Amino acid sequence: MARIAVGGVQHETNCFVPSVTDYGYFCSHRDRPPLSRGADLLAQLPGRNFAMSGFLDAVGDAHDIVPLVWASGGAGGYVTRDAFERISAELLGLLSLAMPVTGVYLDLHGAMVTQDFEDGEGELLRRVRAVVGDDVPVVISLDYHANVTPQMVTFADAMVPYLTYPHVDRIETGQRAAAAMARLLEKGRPRGRALRKLPFLLPLNHQCTMVDPSKAAVAMAAKGEGGEVLTLAYLAGFPPSDLFDCGPAVIAHAFSQAAADRAADELAHAIALLEPAFAAPMLQPDEAVQKAMLIAASARRPVLIADTQDNPGCGGSADTTGMLEALCRLDAQGAVVGALCDAESAAAAHQAGEGNSVSLALGGKSGPEGVMPFQATFRVTRLSDGRFTTTGPCVGGRMVDLGPTALLTVGGVSVVVTSKRMQAHDQEIFRHLGVEPKDQKILVLKSTVHFRAHFQPIAEEVLVALAPGGHVVDPTCYDYKRLRPGVRLYPLGPQFVPRGMGGNPAQVSG
């Protein structure tokens, strides 16, 4: 029986939003459990929809599990120095007290940037390796959007990523991590490891694995594992993270260097050939609403509009009003927007009470520049405490607490208003307020791709809109400071040129 220490710190950092992610946010209960330590980890995570859940369920009683710290800050601005140091120090302290261990499993994201470290996971792994030494295998699971760095590849012995976007295989990812750990406990740490960065960034809308070319890329990675190759991973990257190694990568861990190099080279070459195929059409707000209204006039199922640039799952504030304004301006009927985060407006709705009217300056309190509150008199249609359990394939089984929540209606448009941010990737965010998604004409979802898992099966058509928000789709708009020179900012797009090397304000070169 092995003695395996388990823990994790997750954050997907958007370096181009003004907010930061502090320790309190990691400790809050939102659409995921709060920071858990020791016995609380073993109480909170088993049987849930996380990679850690899958790992624990797969290991069962076969090994002695030593719980450390698990925390997820979702997505947002830079992780503060205080948050990173407090969480990592506690994890490392518990790990030190648990020594000796025969293995370490960490449930990470892979795109964490802190106020001190552009490679948050690499720094955490460096510290873990310093505690456990050179002989103990370290297995990590990663989000599909990880920005993998050389330091991460060096200090980990197996990288097991999600294979889906929308992420519907979190549990399976943990189970695969447990299988990798079992092999490492039998054979020891692998000698071979290889990292290949692809020469372009990949906007999130182009990363969906429900369709090619991303579907083909992850399939090729899974097929390449076996024999001497312990794990072979394709990670699509997270463009709003500002670090040298931002972007898609191929990673191999193998029991010989030759096997690692061969597997990584073959997969990286095959994915590079797919570059021209990455694309996703997008519309301006009015175009999206007009098209949705035209389709909805004769459709029997709802038309979905992804408000992709205000996706809180990518660091958006979830309070921008561009799509709400477009719906009301064009007199859309039977439309529902979800979920707009405005604790002040939610509180005012609760004070007014169901069935009453309330005048609000809704949303628009967090930027970006030009986004204003939507001022109107709303009818308070339904109120809730924001507590419900998700049921969809992406985040099913999570006990959610969004604080005081309201369904507000103005004209033919209703808005789900919450006190805490949550991406609209599960239908229960509407149902718990009495709104059945399949019965609506138009659903505007503050999400990028995750919504597709639960909502696309009920949809007549899916549109993607570019209303202003913190998750800017076009990487040429990002003011990168650390990105490596020469990488293309989107498939077949212009190359990045740092300002000190002659880059213009957009920092690109044709």
* Number of separate helices (H) and strands (E) present in the chain: 14, 21
- What integer is the mean pLDDT of 186-212? 96
Give domain limits for the chain: 3-277, 285-465
Please give the sequence-ordered ranges of beta strands (E in DSSP) within 285-353, or none if there are none: 303-307, 335-341
Confidence of residue 281 (pLDDT cuts 50, 70, 90): confident
* pLDDT reported for residue 70: 98
pLDDT digits (tens, 9 = 90+) for 137-176: 999 999 999 999 999 999 999 999 999 999 999 999 999 9
User: Is the model's pLDDT at 510 over the cut of 80?
Assistant: no
State the average pLDDT for the chain: 96
Confidence of residue 358 (pLDDT cuts 50, 70, 90): very high
User: Is the model's pLDDT at 235 over the cut of 90?
Assistant: yes
User: Is the model's pLDDT at 508 over the cut of 60?
Assistant: no
Rounded alpha-carbon distances, angstroms, from residue 119 to 149, 333, 375 = 7, 46, 41
DSSP string, 157-192: SEEEE---SS---HHHHHHHHHHHHHHHHHH-S-SE
Confidence of residue 507 (pLDDT cuts 50, 70, 90): very low
Residues linked to residue 358 through DSSP beta bridges, in sequence order: 378
* pLDDT reported for residue 509: 39
pLDDT digits (tens, 9 = 90+) for 449-459: 999 999 999 99
510 versus 358: the higher-pLDDT residue is 358
CB neighbour class for 316 (10 Å; exposed up to 12, middle 13-18, buried from 19): buried
Residue burial 257-273, b: 16+ Cβ < 10 Å; e: rest: eebbbbbbebbbebbee
Q: Residues 375, 413, 445, CA angle at the centre, nearest 5°? A: 100
User: Is the model's pLDDT at 504 over the cut of 80?
Assistant: no
At 481 the three-state DSSP class reads: coil
Confidence of residue 502 (pLDDT cuts 50, 70, 90): low
* pLDDT reported for residue 505: 38
User: Is the model's pLDDT at 62 over the cut of 60?
Assistant: yes
User: Is the model's pLDDT at 500 over the cut of 80?
Assistant: no
- What integer is the mean pLDDT of 285-299? 98
pTM summary value: 0.90
Record the tokens describing residue 15, joined without a space: 């370096």
User: Is the model's pLDDT at 503 over the cut of 60?
Assistant: no
- What integer is the mean pLDDT of 38-56? 95
Residues linked to residue 383 through DSSP beta bridges, in sequence order: 406
User: Is the model's pLDDT at 506 over the cut of 50?
Assistant: no
* Topology of the domain covering 3-277: Rossmann fold (3.40.50)
